[in-house]
Each structure stands twice: as structure tokens, then as C-alpha cells.
Chains A and B, each alone.
Chain A
Amino acid sequence: MAQEFTINRLETTRLIGPMVDEHWKELREAKQKGEKVAWCSGVPFIFAYAMDMKCHFMAGYSAYCAGRKAGERVLEIAENTGELPDTCSYHRLHMGMAEAVKNGIPVREDVILPIPDLMIAGRVCPEMSHYAEALYRKFGIDVVGIDLITPYQESDYPFLEKYLEQQFKEILIPKMEEVCGKPFNYERMSQILTVLKKTATLRNECLEYFKKVPSPWTLWDYGVSLAPVIYLMGKPETVPYYEKLKAELEERSKNNESAILPEEKHRVFWDGWLPWGFLGHFARKITSYGANPISGRYPWEMFPRPDLIEPELDPVRTYVKALYTGSMLGNNMAKPGLSLVSEIVPEYHIDGIIFFTAKSCRIWKSQLTVLEKMERKYGIPGVTLEADMADQKMFSEAQIDTRLNAFFEVLEARKEKKRWM
């Protein structure tokens, strides 16, 4: 009989749900309290937070909505209003939600988003701009555009930082002052960055535990712990969350306790988006092979270099530096990404690579090339899984199962060969 594997769940991660729920609840209730609301793609939401404006974060909301299994209904509304199925599912989710709220189409209470007073279009990818443009055309919602370029290569960081700083200072900050009717609060931005620095530093200490064999936690655990280092940025409770997490990991580590029971059989790298709409589904599938996904490029994007954040200096400049020099905006690009994956594979003792490809999102560049180069360099197998971040219609159970079966067979065979040699 085949061995059965399960995930040894962490206690601390149970605390994340209420923190995340509270964030979205505050946003939902903001309008009733007479507060202004922004929708934001990319990371400029900190500028809204600094002005005490409630703000959504496009990818974070999409993950939340899909993770809550409410995505299907919202996507259906989008389709009924003319959205085409090949379009980015995050774009469609927002179009569907805006239509639902404007026209009173019923959707689940806990995923409702208020119609914003301002769209901050951080153009990490062009679609993150297109959704704001579309909402302007549909409902006349005010837009401010910020070109958040994903860098092609590290050598371009200096002039990209200058360009982004100019946009933040000359365009975004004046716009926030105009919308909120008060001067920009640099001090508040510094306070948010101070908390972020602490949280991200603790998070980095937690990431070190992934190097341990067996690893005391999984990428799924880290996936659900991302909000404190991104859109819950600046909330005081994010620090104790990671302190508790670190303590729990330390305890497990002392006892040599594995996150996969009864044993961690394979250590795999997970590339691309986390599949928010199917996270549990994928977790069960991967776990059934005794495999632990212990690292990935996407989760490594969230302020990986907190040492570069210097809140006591110019908060705008230090934020920009954290985004480029701090390797946050480039990991999905092939050249910076290839450097990162090359570092991670040996450091975290990776046995194989799973590249998750979202059919409606091509933000992960040259994945097939990155995969091929890693396979050659380290002699480890790789596989691509095609699905989507949120759209269930793009998920083919049989295709995923076939590919995973083949992948783990190769992985086993190579390990056997290594042992035998």
C-alpha cells in the first residue's frame, strides 16, 4: 500500500485569517463611515495608507476573493457583462465586482469591494493599468497612473529608481494631497516602513528554517503568511505574528519536526503564482507524494531586503530603493529571476522544480527557459503545470495529475541513481 502523507499544520498560521478578514472588513465599511477608498495595483498603496485612506491591493484582493471560493461567481458576472475568457482573471474579477456593486447583483458579503474614489494604477504589468482604464471608461472613476516597471536586468536599477521616485514625488503625492485635502504625511509613511522593516526582518529569519532538512514549514504556510509583509504593511500586529511564527519554527526545528508527516520525501521549488483559487487542492496533491514546496520566486518578492529600508531617511526614496535594489520588482523577469532561482536551488537543497503557469497571466517571463537552465545546471527534473490564479475553468485535473505523476517518477528515479552512484 502506498505511503500516506499529511501536512503537519502550524498553530500560528491560524491567526492570519482574522487579521486578513479585518482588513477587508475595514475596507468594506469605510464608505459608510464617510472615509475615502482607493483601489491600487502594485505597491503604491503605502501612499494611501500614509494618508489614512483605506486602500485595496489588486493582487491581494484577487487572492482573497479566489481563496474564499467566491471568485467563480464574480467571474461569471464579468462574463455576463461581456468580458472575454482569455482576459487576465484578476482583471475580470475586478470588472465583475464593480458591475455587481454598481448594479446590485448579489455576491457574497465578505468579498464585496466598495467602488473607489481613486484608482492608483501601478503598472507592474499593463493589465494592472488596463483594469483602472476600463473602470474609468465605465464609471468615470478618477485614475492616477504610475509606471512601476519590472526591470529587465539589475544594471538598469539606478535610472529606474530615479524615474519611479520622480513619479511618486511629482504625480502620486500631489494627487493624494488633492484627493484627501491635506498635506502628505511623510511621518506616517516612515512609521509604516519602520513596522514593515521589523516584520520583514523577522520573516527573513523564518525563511531560514526552510533550509533545514526536514523543513519545519511549507510554502503553503508561508503563502498564507504573506499579507503582513505586503498589504497589511504597517499594522502593529504583523510583528507579533512573525515573532510567534519564528518561535514555533524554532521549537519544531529543535525537535527535528517535519512539516510533512510521516517524513519529508522530496523538496521542491514552486515557481510562478501561488494558485490562490486552488491552494488547498494543490497542497493536497503535492503532499500526497511526500513533497514539500519549500521556496518560490513569488513569495520571495515581498521586501526581501528589509536591511535597505531606512525609514528615518527620505521615506519615498528608501521605499523606491527597496523595490529595485532590494530585488522586489524584478524576480518575475527572466534574468533577475534566473539569478534568484540559481541561488535558491542549492541553498535550500531542492530536488525538483514545479513551474506553475497561469493561462491568463504571462507575468512570469521565459519560464520554460529558466526551467531548462536549472535542469541542466543542477541535474534536477522540472515540470510545468498549467492552470490559473483564480479561474476554475482553466484548471484541468487530469492534466495536472498526469504531469505530477510523471514528474515525481523522474524525481524518484534520479534520486535512486544519485544514491546508487
Chain B
Amino acid sequence: MEEVLKRFAEISTDPYTSLIEWKEKTGKKIVGCFPMRIPEEIIHAAGMLPVVMWRGNEAVTLGHSYVHNFNCGLTRSFIDDVMRGKMDFMDGMIFYRSCLQAEEVPSTIELNAPPHHFLYLYLPPLYPGKAFGDFVIHELKRLKENVEQWSGQEITTDSLNNSIEIYNKNRSLLKKIYELRKKKPGTIKAREMLTIVHSGMLMDKEEHNRLLERLLPELEGKKETPNGKIRVVLAGSLCQTPHTVILDLIEEAGMVVVDDDIYVGSRYFANEVIPGGDPMEALADRYMKRLPPDPTMGDWKTLWTDYMVDKVKENNAQGIISLLIKYCPPHLCYYPDIRRRFDKEDIPEIMIEVEHEVVSIEQTRTRLQAFMEVIKGGA
């Protein structure tokens, strides 16, 4: 178990080395996808490796000349990595607009350090109306045509169905691990859970599946240690990883994470692609799913706050921690409603702002300790 977790942590903290090694070994192309909405299966079916763009571990340096410091961590860090040549191994990059900050990245890269293959998609919001469903299909077809050209390999119904099966298996394995954590909280640390999910975004999915299959029985066999810790749910961190040090601080303060509603977490694998019909339509159907609610998607009727409250209640959690990425517009615009709703429900909630370079460890620790005391006091 330790070996597998160590491997996941290595990949999550240094994807550059493992991806370069993978490329040298396989001779295949690597395509970076902007987080959240790009169906990786299509790229996989073309015989390439899709990876989800990430926020690196280093402070932004050269990137300052290309992007304002009031952009979020992921956009600044990724641009910085590209400008420093750290992403030169990526053969292609695919972008779309999930927010205004995300829109800053593609043109900055294409105009300064264009990758060999480049695609900008217009993935629509989930507004009511046929036009939006039609346009999802239009854009997924454009994606398919482009990646076929890049790889020189036609995507057949069979190859796409095969990729869907591999990705669905990955989702199902991750779900099992999450179910285990719910039953036996504390058997997997929050930091470990993050690297389990994150590594899967940065490596060959079949290899990730094999490692998850090794990990699962070992986790199942692990005994629960009753600890009486405060049960909390994490929410937010919409398209990027939160700092693992924040996750450690949560646990050090005497809390245990029982579930989450974060992107590098349960949101990544929440929906499977329903197989059976036309695979492109099946992928479009997954795109159009309204749960988990995504505040970047303009769906005003499906309340994110309902989903969060349900998450807290179904997990018998005692509080929720909002991880708000500094300068994240969709989360900023939604946050006042989140705050009001949890006040109304009388569920303790705390917002921790996550910046790329700076983690005010002592301040965060104090706030988390105070949060825990509030929960204990109310219990």
C-alpha cells in the first residue's frame, strides 16, 4: 500500500519527470487539457495521452512578464511553466473558457510559445434550450477531428467505446475508495486522497487502474481506528489542487475529512459515461449533467448549495470547509450564497482562501483550530 501511495505522490508532485519518462518509453504523444470539461476519452481513443493541466509547486518567475499577478494560481503557474520550457514535452494543448482567468491562458501561450498542436474549444454553459446541446456535439466533433489529425489515427466507435470503458472503470475504482473513506474515515489522509485522484489525471489511465486495483484490497483490510475526530467535508477548489499543507493543517487541528466536493476529488469522477448508444452522444450527455452543480456552467436552477448541504448531511459531517482559490470568479460570485445557506442551516462553515505562492500557515492553523472549537462547542 505504501508503495502505491508513494508512486501516486511522486506523480502528483512531479508530473514532469514521470510524463517525460512515459513519453520516451511509449513514443506516444501527450496532450494537455484545461481542467474540468474536456472529455479525455476522445484524446485517449486517438492513441494519445490526455493529461489535465496542473498548478506546479514552484513560485511564478518568468510568468510575471506574461500574466498579471491578480490571476489565479493555476493560470499563472501553467503559463510560467510553459514560458520556462517545462511543458515542452507536451505535444498538444486544448483549452476552453470556464472562466475569464482560464481564457487568459490559451492566447498567451499560442502567441508566445505555441505547442505543436493547439485547439481552443467553445464549450457552452448549461442554459435551457436545444441550441446548447447541439453546440456541445458540434464542439466535441471539432475536438475529435482535430485530435485525429494530430495523431494520424482515426477514432472508431470501437476505440472510443474502449476508452470510455477504461475511464469508467477508473471512475468506479475511485468511487470505491471514496466509499471506503466514508465508512472508515481517517484510514486515508486527505493529502493521500488528493494524490490518488490527481495522479490519475497525469498518467496513463490503465496504469492508474492497475495501481488502484492493488491499493483497494489493502485499504479494505485496514482497520478503522476510532478517534472521535470532527467530521468535515471539503468544497470548492474548482479546477485546481489545493495546497496539501492546508489539508494537513485540517487534520492536525483535530478534524477528519470524510468526503469532498472539489475538482481534484469527487467532482472528477462523479459521472460515468453511459455506454450503449453513440459514444459521442454519450460523452455529450455526460457533459450536460447538472450534478454535481458546477458554478462555472451558468445553470441557475440547480443549486450548488443544496448539493453541498446534502453532502454534509449524508456524511453525518459536522462542518464544511470552503477552499476558495484566490481570484476564482465563479466561486467568488457564489460564495455569499454559500455562506448564507450554511448560516441558515446552522452548519458550521469556514472559508480558507488558497493562493498559489503564499500559505499563511499559522494564520490558517489558528482559524481552523477556532473553527473546530466552534463545532465542538456546538456539539
B334 touches A365 (CB 8 A): no
CA distance A127 to B330 in the complex (A): 7
Q: Counting CB contacts under 8 A, is A412 at the interface?
A: no
Which of A134, A137, A163, A366 is most buried by chain B, counting CB atoms within 10 A of its CB?
A366
A130 touches B330 (CB 8 A): yes
Give chain B interface residues in 39-84, CB to chain A under 8 Å: 65-68, 70-71
Nearest CB of B to A325, in Å: 17
B131 touches A167 (CB 8 A): yes
A35-73, CB under 8 A of B: which get 1 and which 0? 000000000000000000000000000000000000000
Q: Counting CB contacts under 8 A, is A91 at the interface?
A: yes
List 11 A-B pairs, Cβ < 8 Å.
A126-B296, A127-B329, A130-B329, A147-B125, A149-B97, A153-B120, A159-B138, A160-B122, A334-B107, A338-B111, A366-B66
Give chain A interface residues in 360-400, CB to chain B under 8 Å: 361-363, 365-369, 372-373, 386
Q: Counting CB contacts under 8 A, is A25 at the interface?
A: no
A-side contacts of B68, CB under 8 Å: 357, 362, 367-368, 386
A126-B298 contact, Cβ under 8 Å, with A152-B120, A159-B138, A171-B131: yes
A132-B333 contact, Cβ under 8 Å, with A145-B125, A359-B70: no
**Interface hit among A14-22, A77-85, A197-205, A217-225:** A77-85
Nearest CB of A to B186, in Å: 33
B100 touches A369 (CB 8 A): no
CA distance A334 to B299 in the complex (A): 28
Q: Counting CB contacts under 8 A, is A189 at the interface?
A: no
B332 touches A171 (CB 8 A): no
A127-B333 contact, Cβ under 8 Å, with A147-B127, A359-B70, A368-B68: yes
A123-B298 contact, Cβ under 8 Å, with A335-B111, A362-B71, A369-B111: yes
A365 touches B333 (CB 8 A): no
A-side contacts of B135, CB under 8 Å: 147, 163
Q: Counting CB contacts under 8 A, is A261 at the interface?
A: no
CA distance A80 to B337 in the complex (A): 13
CA distance A23 to B98 in the complex (A): 34
A-side contacts of B300, CB under 8 Å: 132-133, 136-137, 143, 145
Q: Counting CB contacts under 8 A, is A344 at the interface?
A: no
Q: Counting CB contacts under 8 A, is A227 at the interface?
A: no
B329 touches A88 (CB 8 A): yes
Q: Counting CB contacts under 8 A, is B130 at the interface?
A: yes
CA distance A341 to B25 in the complex (A): 46
Give chain A interface residues in 115-129, CB to chain B under 8 Å: 121, 123, 125-127, 129
Q: Counting CB contacts under 8 A, is A342 at the interface?
A: no
A125 touches B100 (CB 8 A): yes
B-side contacts of A11, CB under 8 Å: none
B-side contacts of A340, CB under 8 Å: none
Give chain B interface residues in 329-343, CB to chain A under 8 Å: 329-330, 332-337, 339-340
B344-375, CB under 8 A of A: which get 1 and which 0? 00000000000000000000000000000000
Q: Counting CB contacts under 8 A, is B315 at the interface?
A: no
Contact residues on B (Cβ < 8 Å of other chain), bracket: 35 or more
Q: Counting CB contacts under 8 A, is B124 at the interface?
A: yes
CA distance A127 to B134 in the complex (A): 23
CA distance A368 to B98 in the complex (A): 21
- 7 shortest A-B CB distances, which residue pairs? A334-B107, A145-B127, A82-B336, A130-B333, A133-B300, A362-B100, A87-B332
A-side contacts of B134, CB under 8 Å: 166
CA distance A334 to B109 in the complex (A): 11
Q: Counting CB contacts under 8 A, is B326 at the interface?
A: yes
Interface residues of B (CB under 8 A from A): 65-68, 70-71, 97-101, 103-104, 106-108, 110-112, 120, 122, 124-125, 127-132, 134-135, 138, 295-296, 298-301, 303, 326-327, 329-330, 332-337, 339-340
Nearest A residue to B336 via CB reads A82
Interface size in chain A (residues, C-beta < 8 A):
56
A147-B336 contact, Cβ under 8 Å, with A130-B329, A365-B104, A366-B108: no
A87 touches B329 (CB 8 A): yes
B107 touches A366 (CB 8 A): yes
B-side contacts of A373, CB under 8 Å: 111
Nearest A residue to B120 via CB reads A152
CA distance A183 to B347 in the complex (A): 48
CA distance A362 to B70 in the complex (A): 9
Contact of B108 among A81, A88, A166, A334 (CB under 8 A): A334
B131 touches A82 (CB 8 A): no
A-side contacts of B127, CB under 8 Å: 145-147, 171
Nearest CB of B to A194, in Å: 28
A362-B104 contact, Cβ under 8 Å, with A132-B300, A134-B337: yes
A369 touches B298 (CB 8 A): no
B-side contacts of A167, CB under 8 Å: 129, 131
B-side contacts of A127, CB under 8 Å: 100, 329, 333
Which of B66, B112, B135, B340 is most buried by chain A, counting CB atoms within 10 A of its CB?
B135
B-side contacts of A87, CB under 8 Å: 329, 332-333
CA distance A367 to B107 in the complex (A): 10
Q: Counting CB contacts under 8 A, is A226 at the interface?
A: no
B-side contacts of A335, CB under 8 Å: 107, 110-111
CA distance A129 to B111 in the complex (A): 28
Q: Counting CB contacts under 8 A, is A86 at the interface?
A: yes
Q: Counting CB contacts under 8 A, is A131 at the interface?
A: yes
Contact of B334 among A130, A334, A372 (CB under 8 A): A130
Nearest B residue to A121 via CB reads B298
B-side contacts of A123, CB under 8 Å: 125, 298
A-side contacts of B301, CB under 8 Å: 136
Nearest CB of A to B172, in Å: 32
Contact of B107 among A134, A149, A170, A369 (CB under 8 A): A369
A-side contacts of B333, CB under 8 Å: 87-88, 91, 127, 130-131, 133-134
A170 touches B296 (CB 8 A): no
Q: Counting CB contacts under 8 A, is A279 at the interface?
A: no
Nearest B residue to A137 via CB reads B337
B131 touches A83 (CB 8 A): no
CA distance A41 to B65 in the complex (A): 32
Q: Counting CB contacts under 8 A, is A333 at the interface?
A: yes
A-side contacts of B101, CB under 8 Å: 362
Apart from A171-B127, A366-B104: 15 A-B pairs, beta carbons within 8 A: A81-B336, A82-B340, A86-B327, A88-B332, A126-B296, A147-B124, A163-B135, A167-B131, A334-B107, A334-B108, A335-B111, A338-B111, A362-B100, A365-B103, A366-B107
Which of A137, A153, A361, A386 is most buried by chain B, counting CB atoms within 10 A of its CB?
A137
CA distance A127 to B340 in the complex (A): 20
A152-B107 contact, Cβ under 8 Å, with A126-B329, A127-B100: yes
